Structure 1
Amino acid sequence: MKKRLLTIGVCMIALGAASAPALANDGYDLWLTPAVAGTAAPDIRVIGQSETLTLAAGELRRDLAASPLPVVLARADDPALAALRLSTATLGEEGYIVRTATIDGRPSLLVTGKTDRAVLYGAFALIRAQKTGVDLAAINLTSAPKIGLRVLNHWDNLDGSVERGYAGQSLWDWWTLPDFKDPRYTDYARANAALGINGIVINNVNAKPESLTAPYIAKAAALADVFRPWGIKVYLSARFSAPIELGHLKTADPLDPEVQAWWKAKADEIYRAIPDFGGFLVKANSEGQPGPRDYHRSHADGANMLAAAVAPHGGIVMWRAFVYAETDPDDRAKQAYTEFHPLDGKFADNVLVQVKNGAIDFQPREPFHPLFGAMPKTPMMLELQITKEYLGFATHLAYLGPLFEEVLKADTRAKGTGSTVAKVVDGSLYGHKLSGIAGVANVGRDRDWSGSTFNQANWYAFGRLAWDPTLSSEAVAREWAQQTFGNDPRVIDTVVRMMMQSREAVVDYTGPLGLAHLMGTGHHYGPGPWISDLARPEWNPVYYHKADKAGVGFDRTKTGSNAVAQYEPPVAKLLADPRTTPESELLWFHHLPWDWKMKSGRTLWEEMVAHYDRGVATVAQMQAEWQGVKGSVDPERWQKTATYLEIQHREAKWWRDASLAYWMSVNGLPLPAGAAAPEHDLAWYKAQDFPMAPGHPH
């Protein structure tokens, strides 16, 4: 009787398990979806022993579906591969080979490279290839990163908040580190390794001195221990005045011997805890941060002092060129060039100057920064923003791959046609061995990591383009979509179409034709082109659009600030003439009358209105397209995206209406025939207030 009851109980448990609903898809797996349950497990063989090789094998067992051949993981110098005579000269330390080969008389799929982390990258490439439809029986991949240092910058604060973060609190639980290493840290490292990201700056560039104290060094060391097997180094943002705040010195002057000794001792302390510590990221003399100019020293003086402290350990310094001062009456777009261009060739060999993609501040569209190509003797590190500070935060669908591609392919003309920003950044244009690219992370504690499914694509696009800047953003969007949503052609085509039009839609409804920095003050949420009363001129949107009865736009030609002169002569010549300036950047460089004739035949005013309307219409079109795949995407991710698209459509109309109400108050012009009037008057839009917007200190 007992045996029968036990049998019934087991059957009931099995029935309950069988009838239990599947776990909701909350986006936690990112693009790393496990192989479908029930598929044959691949035959994996590992030659050699290391934690990283074990991780690589584990990834294949988790995510690779049935393979036509057994998979062999091994370093290229292993004697078992000697007969293959592999060509590894172009691989470097991180490049991989994935190909069919006969090993020990057995046809196999070989994943190899010079180092364990190269094999790990190859394992992820094999998984990506299978999920994007590559025939594994005929696979033949050889790939090496074009950029050496591929880093995420976390703007995470020690109190758990994230500056310009829209995916919840910081991923790092500083309070329980170093004792408790949250399993999410491993999952995060795994996602980055899948993209080839090899460095993480774990704290905000607006750094606190406490991040360099012994307790926080221990916390950083705990994260470094988690990241190391995944090929990732830890970096710290350093506060320049730390010798005063922590060392009780009277100065932070970089030429002071006591200051130099303090930083050397601090670097030694960090390297004792983290032997493979990457180095420092520094924001200095920018937006109130301390720096070498406080002591009448140059940025090179400051960077070189820190570089000397980390050089004996193989460390580097990433010195940000994001500088502007309220005491400088010149065009804000010119100030970084003015300060850094004279310093070319004066930085130490282990210093990278980190430059934002544009000269203002991560706008939905900016011309490429004039510093690219202007400092041939200095390695230049491109800084991109993955988190969407000016592009609708987490709720607006804005795939940034086209933005990244736009700047990487921009031609500086520094050494003739083809001198792209990508060639400056990867070091090939001027022969620099040190090269780097940074992305301001959009990762937080939200279960889907980035605030929405489509925001994950921006993290993915950064990693893929950091590895290979020649990739097309559309190809990257397609491979992300296939790994994230499966291989239903209708779903994938819809997703890619939505992604590829999304960023331009945000440009249209927030700042068309080269307008920029029109957002609400502080939080940068929503329209505020009327703001004119802030303490610093360059914080006010009116500073950037200069709209009046006669026209709109910032004159950066020789009749204005002459910022065009900072570009190479062939580029400057094009930008100096409104007839040869790309219309997408027209008002960035020119103040033009409202009746200026555009290429479409419309006036400037009519063209602006058309762009605002197109932006709103594009979001409506994305809503309709997403509705068309309902039932073909899991209900959890479908519904969240649909809800966010509703928010985006509502806010796109808000942007359009508020902006047009303001422009009409300035130019006195009626709307073109057929254009809808703003829903409210200008006073209503000005009265909107958002004191608790996310991502901004409160």
Structure 2
Amino acid sequence: MFTRFLKSLFFACFFVLLVFTATANDGYKLWLQYAPFETHTEAHYYHEYLSDISLVGQSPTHEVISKEFQLATEGFFKGSLTPRIDSSGNGKIWVGKISDLPVKISRSFKDQLEKIGDQGYLLLYVSGQVIVTAKKDVGLLYGTFALLKAIQTRERLDELDRLENPKIQTRMLNHWDNLNRTVERGYAGFSIWNWHRLPNHIDKQYIDYARANASLGINATSITNVNANALVLTPIYLEKAAAIADAFRPYGIKLYLTARFSAPMELDKLPTADPLDPAVQAWWKDKAKEIYEYIPDFGGFVVKADSEGQPGPHNYGRTQADGANLLAEALQPFGGLVMWRAFVYSENTPTDRTKQAYDEFKPLDGKFLDNVIVQVKNGPLDFQPREPFHPLFGAMPETPLMMEFQITKEYLGQDTHWVNLASLWKEVLQADTYAKGQGSTISKVLDGSLHGYKHTAITGVANIGTDRNWTGHPTAQADWYSYGRLAWDPHTDIGQIAEDWLKMTFTTDATFVSTAKNIMLKSHSIAVDYMTPLGLHHIMARSHHWGPGPWVTGGRRDDWTATYYHRASEDGIGFDRTSAGSNALEQYNPAVQKQWQDLESTSLDYLLWFHRVPWDKELSSGNTLWMEMALRYQRGVEGARWMQAEWDSIEGKIDEERFGHIRSFLKIQVSEAEWWRDACLLYFQQFAQQPLPEGVEAPEKDLEYYMGFRRFFVPGI
């Protein structure tokens, strides 16, 4: 009787405390908010488990797990509960490796336990206990975060029975961060890596970064720009990088660095960087040995070569395999990997820029050393709002390929547009290459199941910076989160990902979650409509890629202009990539070619990517090309306005600070959607020479105004 009274008193005080401690939320905690329970029933249910935890074993990762339970419990109960964490084995939550499991459980669940991989875990409810178990420490960490996610999303713990192994071995973030702390294509402030303070000071943000990544299963990070600076390979910077690696190690995260191909010349005055030169080969072997003395578990190199002015094997008449194998051979004794980017193009403007990576890498299939992974962008051009999948994914069965997604929104509104990138990525991951017949999806290429790759990997170009909310736009946190979830399992339902993120980041309120999820899942198609409908691509403003620039022409390279890609004239618009044009379509499997070869049957989403189409051509929609283009631009604007109205309808469901931040950005997004529509339609209308169809709003300004618009100091260049 007295015990029940004490419990009732505790929960009464707990909810009074909630009322008087509500504070603003700047978004720093990401999806690890560990927000207080919203009902007495929830608090009572989870209190029973979180108050009594057994953590069996000792290691730096065990210390991380213990701290995470403490942080979570403090958040869930507003500091009014300190969990008992010991190694007794009797806790309501039991966390320990398979080797430490009680014999009774080991025998009863032998089949499930044998299926756990080195990075996997098992969540199980057995006889009143929640069991978190794994082969390795890192699996225990992932399992702990999975349990805490279950609590954040208000799952029943007495129904847990979940075995998880990652589908892809190496799940990486690529930071395009420079040593001076600027971030190329970064829209959330400066780089979080403060090289001046390293190695003696480890900023708390590094630890919170590691926590966030570990909660998603991200286990690798490359912290320097692919447009590399050779200085990062010198002792003064290796010492700093080693300090970061030490901080990340308990979280299961390996450190990678970008390697500048000409480093032997720049750092030690070698006369050449020729990959077949014995002195160059010796230099890289010595450098690899030196790096591993600083960082014993160093992951390896990420390399951009022969692209956008970066040096590479082309300078010496060598192949991409020659260049990659040079570094791979140096790393082999230590187990390191080379992630060699396929984003290459020649010094001269090609007939079709989208063809070069395939033309250069396809003949080299099987000629790379086995610790090389070729890193391929999702599309053949450059992270456009929508592209067909990269043809290399259907063409290199003997060479491990990894996906490169762009989490930062270089071409998708940068820091002010709400665009859920999971929708774009899922479209790519489920695309069928037909490499081994129907069902040969890109997700199966990446996880190694299609070709039996020895190494599997995926990476995303990070979108974080020193902004308090990490990503500039609060909803851009969802892109980091979604990337991590899809990297763990490319088959994960993106609707479930969105729902989990919303519940963990904001609230479990059903109306809020349903409304915001609907916005998220429709946002990408809306952005494509007001930016690049019907397969238009690369029509952004020059250099900074912020805002429309379909008129961009001239300059050093034709393939850095918009007119190179859309080719608009009075006769029509579009880039013919069929056999009658550049024949880029030939790089795909015949079954894929069949989908896009015929103008009449090509999806309207890719129409102008593959075909040149007259303005008055009637499409499958029943509209002429011009009408369909104009109506889609208008539909995009109306979609942005719909997003704004839907968000306004859930005011009061979350904290004012983040709600207001997103509301103000949606206002910008609507304005810029109108700008995109008006600028593009005015420009293309001078070629189409037709009026705007009914229902499309007339622009407020003339074309000269939009073409003359300038914005200075755009971030991220």
Cα offset, 1:181, TM superposition? 0.6
Q: Does 1:383 align with 2:400?
A: no
1:64-463 maps to which residues of 2 (within 5 A)? 70-78=92-100, 80-81=102-103, 83-85=105-107, 86=110, 87-102=112-127, 107-463=128-484
1:607-626 maps to which residues of 2 (within 5 A)? 607-626=628-647
Report the counterpart of residue 53 of structure 2 in structure 1: 44
Distance in 2 (CA, whole Å) between partners of 1:247 and 1:295 is 19
Distance in 2 (CA, whole Å) between partners of 1:477 and 1:576 is 35
Q: Deviations over 1:142-191 (max 9, x none)?
A: 01000001000000000010000000000101111111110110000000
Report the counterpart of residue 30 of structure 2 in structure 1: 30
Residue 666 of structure 1 aligns to a residue whose secondary structure is helix
Equivalent AA in structure 2 for residue 33 of structure 1: Q
Q: Deviations over 1:192-238 (max 9, x none)?
A: 00000000000000001111111111111011011000000000000
Cα offset, 1:53, TM superposition? 1.7
**Contact 1:42-1:60 within 8 A present in 2 as well:** no
Distance in 2 (CA, whole Å) between partners of 1:75 and 1:98 is 12
Q: Deviations over 1:104-139 (max 9, x none)?
A: xxx311101110000100011111122223210111
**Contact 2:507-2:654 within 8 A present in 1 as well:** no
Change in CA separation of 1:19 and 1:465 when aligned onto 2, cut-off 3 Å:
closer
Cα offset, 1:632, TM superposition? 1.0
Structure 2 unpaired stretches of 5+ = 1-16, 78-82, 84-89
Distance in 1 (CA, whole Å) between partners of 2:607 and 2:580 is 15
Deviation larger for 56-65 or 655-664: 56-65
Q: Deviations over 1:73-105 (max 9, x none)?
A: 101122535642333333221011000125xxx
**Contact 1:209-1:242 within 8 A present in 2 as well:** yes
Q: Of 50, 54, 57, which residue of structure 1 is paired with 2:66?
A: 57
Change in CA separation of 1:242 and 1:205 when aligned onto 2, cut-off 3 Å:
same
Change in CA separation of 1:20 and 1:481 when aligned onto 2, cut-off 3 Å:
closer
Distance in 2 (CA, whole Å) between partners of 1:137 and 1:617 is 45
**Contact 1:326-1:536 within 8 A present in 2 as well:** no
Distance in 2 (CA, whole Å) between partners of 1:182 and 1:23 is 24
Distance in 2 (CA, whole Å) between partners of 1:524 and 1:208 is 24
**Contact 1:42-1:61 within 8 A present in 2 as well:** no
Deviation larger for 53-62 or 636-645: 53-62
Residue identity over aligned pairs, in percent, reads 53
Cα offset, 1:54, TM superposition? 2.2
Q: Of 623, 645, 655, which residue of structure 1 is paired with 2:676?
A: 655
Distance in 1 (CA, whole Å) between partners of 2:149 and 2:489 is 15
**Contact 2:534-2:608 within 8 A present in 1 as well:** yes
Equivalent AA in structure 2 for residue 209 of structure 1: A
Deviation larger for 66-75 or 252-261: 66-75
- Structure 2-normalised TM-score? 0.92
Equivalent AA in structure 2 for residue 329 of structure 1: P
RMSD: 1.7
Cα offset, 1:595, TM superposition? 1.4
- Structure 1-normalised TM-score? 0.95
Q: Deviations over 1:534-586 (max 9, x none)?
A: 21010000011111101111000011000000000110122111122211111
Equivalent AA in structure 1 for residue 692 of structure 2: L
Q: Deviations over 1:626-662 (max 9, x none)?
A: 1111111100000000000000000000000000010
1:636-647 maps to which residues of 2 (within 5 A)? 636-647=657-668
Distance in 1 (CA, whole Å) between partners of 2:318 and 2:627 is 50
Equivalent AA in structure 2 for residue 542 of structure 1: T
Distance in 2 (CA, whole Å) between partners of 1:136 and 1:364 is 40
Distance in 2 (CA, whole Å) between partners of 1:280 and 1:82 is 45
**Contact 1:210-1:216 within 8 A present in 2 as well:** yes
Residue 593 of structure 1 aligns to a residue whose secondary structure is coil
Deviation larger for 597-606 or 389-398: 597-606
Deviation larger for 671-680 or 612-621: 671-680
**Contact 1:616-1:656 within 8 A present in 2 as well:** yes
Residue 131 of structure 2 aligns to a residue whose secondary structure is strand
1:479-518 maps to which residues of 2 (within 5 A)? 479-518=500-539
Aligned length: 676
Report the counterpart of residue 673 of structure 1 in structure 2: 694
Equivalent AA in structure 2 for residue 537 of structure 1: D
Q: Of 539, 556, 564, which residue of structure 2 is paired with 1:535?
A: 556
Equivalent AA in structure 1 for residue 143 of structure 2: G
**Contact 1:189-1:227 within 8 A present in 2 as well:** yes
Distance in 1 (CA, whole Å) between partners of 2:91 and 2:409 is 43
**Contact 2:626-2:688 within 8 A present in 1 as well:** no
Distance in 2 (CA, whole Å) between partners of 1:324 and 1:219 is 33
**Contact 1:326-1:537 within 8 A present in 2 as well:** no
Cα offset, 1:22, TM superposition? 4.1
Distance in 2 (CA, whole Å) between partners of 1:564 and 1:642 is 42
Distance in 2 (CA, whole Å) between partners of 1:580 and 1:252 is 49
Distance in 2 (CA, whole Å) between partners of 1:213 and 1:644 is 42
Equivalent AA in structure 2 for residue 53 of structure 1: H
Deviation larger for 40-49 or 396-405: 40-49
Equivalent AA in structure 2 for residue 96 of structure 1: Y
Structure 1 unpaired stretches of 5+ = 1-16
